[in-house]
Amino acid sequence: MNRRVRECRRMLLPALAAGSIQISLCMTGAAQALASTGESLGTAASSHAATVPLAVPRAPAIQTLGSGRGATRFMQVWGIDNLKLEPTASGGLIRFSYRVVDATKAAVLNDKKKDPYLLVEKTGTKLGLQTAERVGQLRQVATPEDGRTYWMIFGNSGHLVRPGDRVDIVIGTFRAYGLFVEAPQAALVDRR
């Protein structure tokens, strides 16, 4: 089977799940609005179609990676998916990783000449890449290949960024707005 077909099928399931959640939220909102007036959903659907709100307000999809549309946008425009931000176990570093789907579109993310930074939304602070004495910047700059995961490490001195915070990633012309910092994976393991 073609790799692109497999990728499309893999993205179809989250999109369907997001759509079904949206529909259930709309139906719940409509049912709650009708319950407050004392009518049932079936009898009042036609008479209240114009007055019942059928949409739940939400943040723009471009700035929310958690949405299916946001993930699709990153895949179509930048050739990447599976964006992930998480602190190290100590919280002194923030690891940003992504998987390349289209190497030509994702080339800007691995460009050595571009200086990436992480922008903390709540304070406006810019955090640069962490550097090691003998290695240099903690970042992969090899020519991108389809299907590979790449990463870069941002310094987080003073623990300005914590799990649950929203941050922006800027690398040259690439901008990822409002990404959530996830909890470290070690904290999610059940230790019994």
pLDDT at 61: 31
The stretch 25-45 carries a mean pLDDT of 44
Residue at a domain's end among 14, 35, 57: 57
Higher pLDDT, 22 or 95: 95
Shared domain for 53 and 133, answered yes or no, is: no
Q: CA 44, CA 35: separation in Å to the nearest integer?
A: 10
Task: Count CA within 13 A, CB hemisphere, residue 29.
Answer: 14
How does the average pLDDT of the chain come out, rounded?
74
Higher pLDDT, 23 or 169: 169
Shared domain for 37 and 122, answered yes or no, is: no
Question: Residue 83: which CATH number?
Answer: 2.60.40
The stretch 1-26 carries a mean pLDDT of 55
Side chain identity at residue 152, one-letter code? M
Shared domain for 90 and 143, answered yes or no, is: yes
Shared domain for 160 and 75, answered yes or no, is: yes
Rg of the chain, C-alpha, whole Å? 21
Shared domain for 89 and 36, answered yes or no, is: no
pLDDT at 96: 93
Range of the domain at 71: 63-188
Residue at a domain's end among 17, 40, 57: 57
pLDDT, tens digit, for every residue of 68-117? 777 888 999 999 998 999 998 688 999 999 999 999 999 999 998 999 99
pLDDT, tens digit, for every residue of 134-172? 877 888 888 999 999 999 999 998 899 999 899 999 999
pLDDT at 44: 44
Q: Is the pLDDT of residue 129 over 70?
A: yes
DSSP states of the chain as a string?
--HHHHHHHHHHHHHHHHHHHHHHHHHHHHHHHHHHHT--HHHHTTTTTTTS--------GGG-TTSHHHHHHIIIIISEEEEEEEE-TTSSEEEEEEEES-TTGGGGGG-TTS--EEEETTT--EEEB-EETTTEESB--SPP-TT-EEEEEEE-TT----TT-EEEEEETTEEEEEEEPPPPHHHHS---
pLDDT, tens digit, for every residue of 38-80? 544 444 444 443 443 434 343 333 334 667 777 888 999 999 9
Residue at a domain's end among 57, 83, 100: 57
Higher pLDDT, 54 or 123: 123
